[in-house]
Structures are given as structure tokens and as C-alpha cells.
Amino acid sequence: MSLANGRHYLAIPGPSVIPDPVLQAMHRPAPNIYTGELVELTHGLIPDLKTIAGTEGNVALYITNGHGLWEASLTNMISRGDKVLVCVTGNFGHGWADVARRLGADVEVLDFGKQAPVDPARLEEALKADTDHKIKAVLTVHVDTATSVRNDVAAMRKAIDAAGHPAVFGVDCIASLGCDRFEMDAWGADVMIAASQKGLMTPPGMGFVWFSEKARAVGMGNDMRTPYWDWETRANPVHLYEYFDGTPPTHHLYGLRQAVDMILEEGLENVWSRHSILARAYWAAVEHWGQGGNLKFNIAEPEYRSHAVTTLSLGDGDGTRLRSWLTEHLGITLGISLGFGDIGSSESDGYFRIGHMGHINAHMVLGIIGAMETAFTALDIPHKEGGSVAAAKLLAASV
């Protein structure tokens, strides 16, 4: 018997839930792209996107996804043959490193494994060893969406400064922006990237690169700049088409305007608190269930866990069993395992992820927690009963 009819809940770490007002804002005929409303709407997004990033620097808009942003940012940040140091804490740092390598950079990876954040002391040591400043860029992911680790970006900046190193510091906030606290200028990031489809609650298809004046000045002299990805014209356009080097993503812009309004109306501090409380409701349930079975956090220390995604393991293929059962019987889809063994192996199938980014509230989280407890019972997956009560208690104490 399936009880899945009704609204399906896709609780994966991107694309995230799209709010109805965002969908409705996009449901309209094609607007004029030369004069009128859309031109004003796009100009108006620029200061608001800077507010969300916590920067007074620059922002360039692109029609692209996260992979495109890796390339967009790198072609402006470095020259061919430049050395790039990538701090990797799971999957996505390797992705950015790979793009840098294929673009012709000399890539050095500092790998911190799949269960720990970047250790700023190791970063400082690596930079101190680079006495003639061959490294031109340091890259990191704020939240690795595969492992759900969250890195301390401000501490990494301090490490770069402590080493007295001039490299440009780039941060991938694709999973975290609009979910986990991020303050670009205060934390000292020179370049930051985020896409539309995660915390920004808009369909996939738009991406953003924020960059400081320092990064801009360095970028001017780089030989990897290409016409389409060049951030200079995009950040200083005269006509609407110059924002996007061609036709703007008309309907995405209406959706994004609505999503940004929703974020700013709620207030960034409230958005971050909501994500923090809802993440901790999941964690309270998991801690409780885990006392009677194999359910485990991938990231043991709560202070290093993302508030946007939680990676869990059940062992022995049970992650995939749980996910399939939830989709078929209860109308919920959780995120697949990413980066733990080969896809289809029992190691990989032991892991799963819960996406809790963007347009989510307490009853959505409680729905998933209740559904997981139902699945554990139906599938005979050992757990200590009562995780949903633990989450309820946490939420009752938090509102």
C-alpha cells in the first residue's frame, strides 16, 4: 500500500523546494528585454545580492549551474600555469580542483578526508612553505554537500594572513548561502560563488560570482579570462544584455526577485536561526535513534556540521533501502550517498543525506522525522524508538 499521493517532498540538497510565490512570479508572458520592468528589476537585484553575501564588493551574474561557476570564477582568478591550493573536505573541493587542472592550473590539494573540516594550521603551514608566492589562489568549499561538513572560513582567512600570503581566497558557498551564516567581507573571502537552486530557492540555471576589489585588480592581469566568463563587463553593465553576455534569463530573474524578497523580509539573521534550529531538530532525532542501532552522523562534532544538509550512515545498504521505501510509500525523497565508495556498492548504499536548505519549516522537518521513524519500523532497521519526540522537545524549547 502506498500512502505517497499528495504533494511529494523532495528533500535533497539541491535543487531545493521552490516556494509557490517564486513559481507564480515566473508564470508570465515573455517580458521586453530592452526597456521597462525587467531592466529595473535586474538593477535592483544587485545591491540585494551583495547584502545576502555580506559584501560591498562586486557581483557578476551568469546563466549557469555550480559547475559553470567553478569555471567562471577560475578564469578570472588565475593565469595559465598558476599554482592553486585547494582545501578539500569531501567531494566538491575535488570538483573545483579538477576544473582548475583542466583549465591549465598547477593544482595542489590539501585533503582533510571526509569527516573533518579544514585544519587552518595545515593551510598556514602550506602557505608558509610557499616562500616565493607561487600559489595564486586558495580555494575551499564552505559546506561540502556530500559530507555535510562546514568549514571555518574566517579561521582560514586568519591562517592566510598569518602566513603573510597574498593569494586570492575563493569560497564555494553553493550549498550554504541563504542557510548557514556567511559574511564575505567580515570573514575575508575575496571571491565567493553561489547558484540559484539551493538556499536561494529558485530553479537551477542562474549563478553568481561575488568578488572583492583585490580580486578584481588581480583578475585584470590574468591571461585565462575568456569573453563569456569575464566578470568585468557583467559587474559593470550599461545595458541589460551585458549582465549576461546575451539574452537574460528572463523568468529566472522574476523568480529570483521574489526569493530574494522573501529572504530579506524574513531577515538574514532569522533565516540563519531557522536553519540552525531545524538542523538541530534533525540531529536530536538522529542522536536518539542512534542509541539503538547503526545510524550515525558522518560529522561527529555538531560545530562542524552544516545547517543545510546532513549526511548519515546506516551501514549495509540500509541507506538506499530507507530512501527507496520512503519514496515509494510515503512520498518523500531523501538525498543519495555521494563520494562514499562506488555507486551501487554496499558502502555507498549505507549512506544517505537529508537536504534542509531554503524554503523549509518545522512541520516539513517533523514530517520527514516521523516518516523516517515509520520507515525504520517498517523495514526492521534497528533504532531507539522516540527520535521524533526528541525533535519535538528540541523544537518546543526553541520557539
Ligand X SMILES: *Cc1c(COP(=O)(O)O)cnc(C)c1O
Min CB(251)–ligand X separation in Å: 18
φ/ψ of 95, rounded to 5, equals -60, -45
| Cβ nearer to ligand X, comparing 4 with 109 | 109
156-172: burial string, b at 16+ Cβ within 10 Å, e else: bbbbbeebebebbbbbb
Q: Which of 92, 282 has the CB closer to ligand X? A: 92
The distance of closest approach from Cβ of residue 88 to ligand X in the complex, given in angstroms and rounded to an integer, is 12
Question: Which is nearer to ligand X, 197 or 258 (by Cβ)?
Answer: 197
Of the pair 204, 386, the CB lying nearest ligand X is at 204
Dihedral sign, Cα of residue 348, residue 344, residue 337, residue 287: negative
Please, which residue, 147 or 388, has the CB nearer to ligand X? 147
For ligand X, the binding residues (CB under 6 A) are: 14, 65-67, 92, 141, 145, 172, 174-175, 195, 204
Please say which residue, 145 or 250, places its beta carbon nearer to ligand X: 145
A 10 A CB-CB count for 328 gives: 12
Shortest distance (Å) from residue 66 CB to ligand X: 2
Q: How far is the CB of 287 from ligand X (least distance, A)?
A: 25
Q: Which residue is nearest to ligand X (CB)?
A: 66
Which residue, 76 or 388, has its beta carbon nearer to ligand X?
76
- Min separation Cβ 93 and ligand X, Å: 9
Closest by CA position to 111, among listed 136, 133, 130, 92? 92
Q: What is the closest distance, in whole angstroms, from the C-beta atom of residue 206 to ligand X in the complex? A: 10
**Can you give the three-state secondary structure of the chain, one letter per residue?**
CCCCCCCCEEECCCCCCCCHHHHHHHCCCCCCCCCCHHHHHHHHHHHHHHHHHCCCCEEEEEEECHHHHHHHHHHHHCCCCCEEEEEECCCHHHHHHHHHHHCCCEEEEEECCCCCCCCHHHHHHHHHHCCCCCEEEEEEECECCCCCEECCHHHHHHHHHHCCCCCEEEEECCCCCCCCCCCHHHHCCCEEEEECCCCCCCCCEEEEEEECHHHHHHHHCCCCCCCCCCHHHHHCCCCHHHHHCCCCCHHHHHHHHHHHHHHHHHCHHHHHHHHHHHHHHHHHHHHHHHCCCCCEECCCCHHHECCCEEEEECCCCHHHHHHHHHHHHHCEEEECCCCCCCCCCHHHHCEEEEECCCCCCHHHHHHHHHHHHHHHHHCCCCCCCCHHHHHHHHHHHHC
Number of neighbouring beta carbons within 10 Å of residue 37: 10
For residue 11, the minimal CB distance to ligand X (Å) is 15
Decide whether 11 or 175 has the Cβ nearer to ligand X.
175
Q: Shortest Cβ distance from residue 267 to ligand X (Å)?
A: 24
Distance in Å, CB of 12 to ligand X, minimum:
10
Nearer to ligand X, 141 or 209 (CB): 141
Q: Which residue type does 188 have?
A: G
Nearer to ligand X among residue 306 and residue 348 (C-beta): 306
Q: How far is the CB of 146 from ligand X (least distance, A)?
A: 8
